[in-house]
Structure 1
């Protein structure tokens, strides 16, 4: 690309030889300097400045700028909705292209086969209505901007989805088992307490009965005392046996 600087004697970049031409029917001259550049996509919209240096003009009074317009094929990038696409979820891929001019068309394809049935193309987007493990593969997007075509690829790996219903069911079963064990333990303790209480009550009644034996059948107080002492001896034996 050549940039022409009218009345140029000095440019910011070294240009070609100056061309001096007389103006028709005027005592003036036209001086032209050409600048040839090898540009790339990074030079798009860069400004080229040209300044005239003449002894009849103050420095920098004559200056002009020209932005470069570099045409180049697009650089393709594919962006995913999520870094961890999960089975059963909605998901999309977006194809973006940085080029000059802007991209005109997008084309999606799957390298290892046809696009999934539940996937549809919407311009720069590839939409998945419901992800499945069978959607795993390499997807390619091609962009055309009239200058050229470029391609980008994306490797889709669908993650298995943990079933929250199964997790809650398992948790419920665990709680049920724990509750059942606790109920059995409490029931056994209650049974032991009942048996022990009945045992203590029965032995206490037997002790009192033997201790009072003879007193009820005594005709008088002396006989009751004698019988009680005899019963007391028996009670001592019973008490020692109980201990």
Structure 2
């Protein structure tokens, strides 16, 4: 390498070192965000330092630490690390007044500085719900108001009806560095709101693990509604019957009142009232009538009616589920009739099916008998008619031969009559 090249290389090396020293002596800081009541760590670093001291100052330009020397008497401020390349301090139990621009200074010639902004988040207080006085009455209009103080930035309030979110009207007011947030919910309450939990939740960046919320469980008073549930569906003599008076109201309408046809129950030995239930131990015809259940609370009265008609007890025993001790031989006549209509039928026949075939055979036999009777009558009438006309014909043939002494003479006379008949013919010209 010649002298000129060596000189140029040396100049570039020195220039690089100078640039590195100059750039490395600028302090480096970062903005910090902390929740009110927490601890903020403020760090200042340099890449290259020629034994020059670092210093932290607060927004009021008060020196907090100069190197490892504490300058401000504040027990909340502590030294974390101090060296030629780094100065880190901590501020515990941070308040909103600690928020602002903090300055890290490097005492070179000239002094170089860097600024970091400390943001303090205001934690919203636990919300409170106002506007509800227990109990409400069905049909009332009420306004639930949820409010929280001290949030920074302004918090968000959300309403939930049980687990389903509902929308409220939000209002934000500034109070110094913090905000007061309100949210209102308009309700027209009915019996379906009784026992419903309305919850107001606070959403905020400072509430990462323990969200703030408040819950109000509504109590709504309403008039009773009554219905009667009964069993069995077809009441019969001698049966057990239970009528249940189902009444819903708040306050609960206990006890309920049972009447029959507008009067008191007539037979308390068989008609037993237990709570809301009316029980008949054994029904009979005298129990027929209209039964009324009535429930009352301070908001009103409700009633329901049940018309009882007791049917006769069944006169036939139900078919036995056990087989007879000895098999009953099938009826051959019924089997023959069944085989004539269905060749697949075997000897074991259903008794109800045999009875049905017997009824069909009787009907067919009656129809056949009527047809035979009508046919015989027609034959008799026709025979008498033919017999009458045949006698008249024979009488005309034998006219004039009745006085003949024998058959030959009768024939001759008959022929003679025909001859005379021909002779008696007259011809007119």
State the TM bucket, normalised to the shorter chain: 0.5 to 0.7
Distance 1:21 1:112, change over 3 A: same
1:134 is paired with a residue of what secondary structure?
helix
Corresponding residue to 2:196 among 46, 51, 55: 46
2: CA distance between counterparts of 1:84 and 1:14? Answer: 52
Mapped contact 2:235–2:310 kept (Cα < 8 A)? yes
- The runs of 5 or more residues in structure 1 that have no matched partner are 166-243
The CA distance in 2 between the partners of 1:64 and 1:52, in whole Å, is: 9
From 286, 296, 305, give the equivalent of 1:153. 305
Q: Aligned pairs, how many?
A: 162
Segments of structure 2 that go 5 or more residues without pairing to the other structure are 1-141, 149-154, 160-165, 318-429
What is the TM-score of this pair, normalised by structure 1? 0.53
Larger radius of gyration between Structure 1 and Structure 2: 2
Whole-angstrom distance in 1 between the partners of 2:240 and 2:203? 65
Report the TM-score when normalising by structure 2: 0.32
Whether 1:34 aligns to 2:184 is: yes
Is the helix fraction higher in 1 or 2?
1
The C-alpha deviation readout for 1:123-171, integer Å capped at 9, x for no partner, is 3122324322232222111122444322122121211113469xxxxxx
Please give the root-mean-square deviation of Cα atoms over the aligned residues, in Å.
3.4
Q: Which has the higher contact order (CA 8 A, sep 6+)?
A: 1
Instruction: Give the Cα–Cα distance (whole angstroms) in 1 for the partners of residues 239 and 193 of structure 2.
Output: 43
Residue aligning to 1:137: 289
Secondary structure of 1:138's aligned partner: strand
Q: Which residue of 1 aligns with 2:217?
A: 67
Partner of 2:157: 10
Change (3 A) 1:113 1:160: farther
Give the distance between the partners of 1:101 and 1:18, measured in 2 at CA.
Answer: 37
- Residue 176 of structure 1 corresponds to which residue in structure 2? none
The structure-2 alpha-carbon separation of the partners of 1:58 and 1:120, relative to structure 1 and needing over 3 Å to count, comes to: closer
Q: What does the per-residue CA deviation read over 1:90-125, in whole Å, with 9 as the maximum and x for residues that have no partner?
A: 322121223333332211112355533242433312
CA contact (8 A) 2:172 2:179 kept: no
SS of residue matched to 1:131: coil
Residue 88 (str. 1) matches residue 241 (str. 2): no
